[in-house]
Amino acid sequence: MTYLEYSNKKFKIIDSYNINTSSRQVTFSDIKVDFTNRTLEDLPIKYQEVQIKKDNTVIYTGYVNSFTLPAMKQSDNEFRELEINLLSPMQMATNKVVTIIGTYTLEEVIRRALSPLLLDGFEIKSLNVRDGQKTVNFLMQTTEFVMNSLSNSESLWWYIDENKSIYVNSIDYQFGLLPKMTLTHDKKVEGLLSITPSVEAVNYANVINVKNARVYFDSWYYSHYDEKINNKPLFDARTLKKGDSIDFKYPIDISENTIRRVKETTNNEGMTEYYNFSLSLAMYSNNYFPVLEIKLDNDNYRISSDISFSEEDKTLITLKRDEFFKNLITGFTYNGESEATVESIRSQTALEYRTMKFVNSQEIELNKGKITTSGVIEKSIDMNQRWFFADDLVAEVRSMMSNNSNQTNILTLEFDKNKDLKIGDIINVNLPKFLIQGEYIITDIVYTHSSIENWKISLRSADVVENYIDIFREKDKQEINEQIDTIMLSDYVEEKMREVHEVVENG
């Protein structure tokens, strides 16, 4: 017996029904149930969890989107049906909000993004991603936004199934799984009714131009006797006088998380100090040689006492913060009484704008004379002033590259028999007579329950899977980290007055 259940109430399912599941979008399912002799208290509420059960086994979990009652007559015992429109569990990822700021392992970022769902009974069934660190800056973003952003930069495939199980794998890992089924001309598959191939245009490019990306680099200047060496110094070294205001050519990020990431990615063994900012001065008039630093020293984050961030604190220098980003320093004011000569300047967390071109030479050669004479297809990506370590930027752009082919990249398979296929399963297709060859991943399943059961299964090849998340990329931007200090938490309680009347009987 198949029935629908919520709030410990069971309802008989009437007519046929469809169960839709998808790794690409939030899907909807419509279910009609017998609502005869039910009351107002039996109606569901928005986003209420609903389960479809067969012989007491849950086959689908959904969330109420809306419901419809039929036209009613003046009859107490008339038959009534309730049609409920259900959202898939993927919808809950759009209703949960997280803040994740700092440097973590990629796996930890994913677990933090999914944590609100885990509290609601969701479970991570598969998590296979690269090792290594990931610096993120998500301020009050939905779980869906965070996971889609990670999909962009890390080439991830993620999915929440109909029973609240969560799967997160790299696309390479997903396509490396053993095929669940193989389709060939020689072997007939029981229950397979039809195969419908199609082609979807891919936002293809073999040359990608990146603009408005801010990339961390090591800026330095050293003066040793008559020798002066430098690499894009923050400012031109000079003699400083009291009240001098210096503007940096490149702003610097002084956050502790960033310098710890520098430490993680630096290969210099034995190195114990890493610098957000270092300024070495010489005051020859009083034989004073101060060194002002913000640094990571033997894993301890330190700021020199001669550095302040307010004009009211008359330390040797006052750092100037960016108008929007709290941890971004754009210069300083010198407050010393004596003239000072700049001996050295360094920051390993300086930021510069970079315009970069990424070229897939192998793809260009393969497409010469086919799509164009040169084989070059370009597109430009605006990174919206986001901050990157160079390796992270390269990895994100690499995920935007897709291979071009003349193969069918979308299939629809129709079955009248349950083949136990799930979203994310790989199917190997070798049907050259049908113009279909390659490995495809299941992205959508529509199950129809009626007198005859039916499964319509949609599959996509690797180039489309990597590309469908591209629509989310333009939403990514650098969050203003000063906003973190202004988050207000308010617990709303609706106050009501309860009036009590007491009747006293005299005598």
Q: Tell me the two tokens of residue 430.
A: 């070798």
Residues 320 and 336: their CA atoms lie apart, in Å, by: 16
Distances (CA, A) of 66 to 41, 58, 232: 16, 21, 60
Collapsing DSSP to helix, strand or coil, 79 comes out as: coil
With CA atoms as reference, report the closest residue to 252 among 219, 298, 299.
219
Question: Which pLDDT score is estimated for 500?
Answer: 53
* pLDDT tops 60 at residue 250: yes
With CA atoms as reference, report the closest residue to 19 among 66, 69, 59.
59
Region 293-316 average pLDDT = 89
Residue found under tokens 């591209």 = 470
* pLDDT tops 80 at residue 463: no
Listed range (89-93, 314-318, 330-334, 467-471) with the worst mean pLDDT: 467-471
Contacts for 33 with CB less than 8 Å, ≥ 6 apart: 4, 11, 12, 13, 14, 81, 82, 84
Question: Which pLDDT score is estimated for 407?
Answer: 61
Question: Which pLDDT score is estimated for 472?
Answer: 37
Per-residue pLDDT reduced to its tens digit, 47-102? 899 988 888 888 888 899 888 877 766 666 677 888 888 888 988 898 899 999 88
Region 16-31 average pLDDT = 81
Per-residue pLDDT reduced to its tens digit, 320-342? 998 888 889 999 999 999 999 99
Listed range (18-32, 154-168, 335-349) with the worst mean pLDDT: 18-32
Give backbone dihedrals phi and psi of 261, rounded to 5 degrees, phi first. Answer: -65, -40
Question: Which pLDDT score is estimated for 180?
Answer: 92
* pLDDT tops 70 at residue 22: yes
Residues 86 and 68: their CA atoms lie apart, in Å, by: 12
Q: Tell me the two tokens of residue 109.
A: 């970022």
Question: Which pLDDT score is estimated for 343?
Answer: 93
* pLDDT tops 60 at residue 189: yes
Residues 86 and 13: their CA atoms lie apart, in Å, by: 14
Region 453-458 average pLDDT = 91
Cα 411–Cα 466–Cα 462 angle in degrees, nearest 5 = 45
**Using 50, 70 and 90 to split pLDDT, how confident is the model at 483?**
very low
With CA atoms as reference, report the closest residue to 431 among 454, 451, 408.
408
- Give the containing element (helix H, strand E) for 412: strand 410-415
Residues 225 and 48: their CA atoms lie apart, in Å, by: 74
Region 459-469 average pLDDT = 58
Region 22-43 average pLDDT = 83
Average pLDDT of the residues of the chain: 83
Per-residue pLDDT reduced to its tens digit, 208-218? 888 888 999 99
Question: Which pLDDT score is estimated for 402?
Answer: 61
DSSP 8-class letter at 155: T
**Using 50, 70 and 90 to split pLDDT, how confident is the model at 503?**
low
Question: Which pLDDT score is estimated for 352?
Answer: 93
Question: Which pLDDT score is estimated for 157?
Answer: 86
Cβ proximity of 344 and 290 under 8 Å: no
Region 387-398 average pLDDT = 84
Distances (CA, A) of 90 to 144, 162, 163, 319, 321: 8, 8, 10, 46, 41
Residues 187 and 135: their CA atoms lie apart, in Å, by: 49
Tell me how far apart the terminal alpha carbons of the chain are, to the nearest angstrom.
Answer: 65
Collapsing DSSP to helix, strand or coil, 270 comes out as: coil
Region 111-120 average pLDDT = 95
Cβ proximity of 58 and 163 under 8 Å: yes
**Using 50, 70 and 90 to split pLDDT, how confident is the model at 202?**
low
Quick one: how many helices (H) and strands (E) in the chain? Answer: 7, 31
**Using 50, 70 and 90 to split pLDDT, how confident is the model at 206?**
confident
Residues 230 and 467: their CA atoms lie apart, in Å, by: 42
* pLDDT tops 60 at residue 502: no
Side-chain half-sphere exposure of 159, counting CA atoms within 13 A: 25
Cα 185–Cα 191–Cα 195 angle in degrees, nearest 5 = 50
* pLDDT tops 50 at residue 466: no
Question: Which pLDDT score is estimated for 486?
Answer: 41
pTM: 0.65
Strand 436-449 with 192-198, pairing: unpaired
DSSP characters over 337-369? SS-EEEEEEEEEEEEEEEEEEEE-HHHHHHHBT
Extended strands (E) in 143-234: 156-160, 165-170, 181-184, 192-198, 207-224, 227-231
Residues 233 and 278: their CA atoms lie apart, in Å, by: 12
Strand 300-303 with 165-170, pairing: unpaired
Residues 198 and 127: their CA atoms lie apart, in Å, by: 31
Cβ proximity of 413 and 457 under 8 Å: yes
Between residues 253 and 324, the one the model is more confident about: 253
Listed range (13-17, 167-171, 460-464, 496-500) with the worst mean pLDDT: 496-500
Q: pLDDT exceeding 70 applies to what percent of the chain?
A: 87
* pLDDT tops 90 at residue 38: no
Q: Tell me the two tokens of residue 3.
A: 């029935």
Q: Tell me the two tokens of residue 324.
A: 């929007």
